[in-house]
Amino acid sequence: MSEGSVFESISRVVIRIDEIKKRFGYGKSPEQEVSFESRLEQVNAKEDAALSLQEGAQPAGDAPESELQAHHALYDEIIEAASEKFRIPASLIKAVIQQESSFDRNAVSNKGAIGLMQLMPKTADVLGVSDPYDAEENIMGGTRYLRELINLYGGNLNRALAAYNAGPERVKMGIPDIRETKDFIATVLSNYDELSQYSNEEGFE
């Protein structure tokens, strides 16, 4: 092989090496070059973000507007249907459910109240609720009961909530002096006020 041919072959090899370097990022300035560790950190961060989203977590900087909102998504469709049927804001229904059962469809109180809206067995029977553990039946029955109480007290929500908690018999002369009942009213109204901030529904009637 002639000297010229050898030089030409070496030149082709050098050019090929330069091409390979460029392809794989060699020869970049320190500012341009990204270390393997940095790339690995970026990949891990993306995987962590994906896992967080799969587990239902909110992306950073996108926290839920309300703690209460996170609990009721499973029953939103039923609640909206009950709201429309009985003309009660969905946020009020959610506020009652939050206080009564914390959205636990299997909740049972020490007095025997059952389900999401904590219906007593006799009340459930009157309302036509055959299975108070069934979310749809319970929410529809509880919302109907709340509407009947609101009508009974001429739209007075405080008295309606007092009756929902303590029973209509105890509210004939006004809100009874029962700490549990007063706390129930205050908490439900607080929840209602908080949830109403994040909805576009019309006000209570």
State residue 191 phi and psi, 5-degree precision: -60, -45
pLDDT at residue 21 tops 70: no
pLDDT at residue 3 tops 50: no
The whole-number pLDDT of residue 75 equals 93
Mind listing the pLDDT tens digit for each residue in 25-63? 444 444 444 444 444 444 444 444 444 433 443 433 343
Architecture of the domain whose range is 70-196: Orthogonal Bundle (1.10)
Q: Which residues pair with 119 in a beta bridge?
A: 114
The whole-number pLDDT of residue 86 equals 97
pLDDT at residue 69 tops 80: no
Q: Which residues pair with 108 in a beta bridge?
A: 114
**Burial of residue 108 (number of CB atoms within 10 Å: 0-12, 13-18, 19+):** middle
How many Cβ atoms from other residues are within 10 Å of residue 78's Cβ? Answer: 20
Q: Which of 127, 56, 136 is nearest to 97 (CA)?
A: 136
Mind listing the pLDDT tens digit for each residue in 105-143? 999 999 999 999 999 999 999 999 999 999 999 999 999
Mind listing the pLDDT tens digit for each residue in 148-158? 999 999 999 99
Rounded CA separation 159/174 (Å): 7
The whole-number pLDDT of residue 76 equals 93
Minimum mean pLDDT among 22-26, 75-79, 148-152, 170-174: which range? 22-26
Where do the domains of the chain lie? 3-54, 70-196
The whole-number pLDDT of residue 49 equals 45
CA distances from 157 to 45, 120, 175, 200 (A): 49, 21, 11, 20
Rounded CA separation 42/117 (Å): 47
Average pLDDT over residues 69-74: 63
What is the average pLDDT score of the chain?
Answer: 76
180 in catalytic set: no
CA distances from 28 to 14, 25, 34, 143 (A): 17, 6, 9, 68
Which position among 100, 180, 194, 205 bears the catalytic label? Answer: 100
The whole-number pLDDT of residue 74 equals 82
3-state SS string over the chain?
Answer: CCHHHHHHHHHHHHHHHHHHHHHCCCCCCCCCCCCHHHHHHHHHHHHHHHHHHHCCCCCCCCCCCCCHHHHCHHHHHHHHHHHHHHCCCHHHHHHHHHHHHCCCCCCECCCCCECCCCECHHHHHHCCCCCCCCHHHHHHHHHHHHHHHHHHCCCCHHHHHHHHHHCHHHHCCCCCCCHHHHHHHHHHHHHHHHHHCCCCCCCCC
- Is 0.95 topped by the overall pTM? no
Minimum mean pLDDT among 84-88, 99-103, 189-193, 196-200: which range? 196-200
pLDDT at residue 199 tops 70: no
Minimum mean pLDDT among 44-48, 76-80, 200-204: which range? 44-48
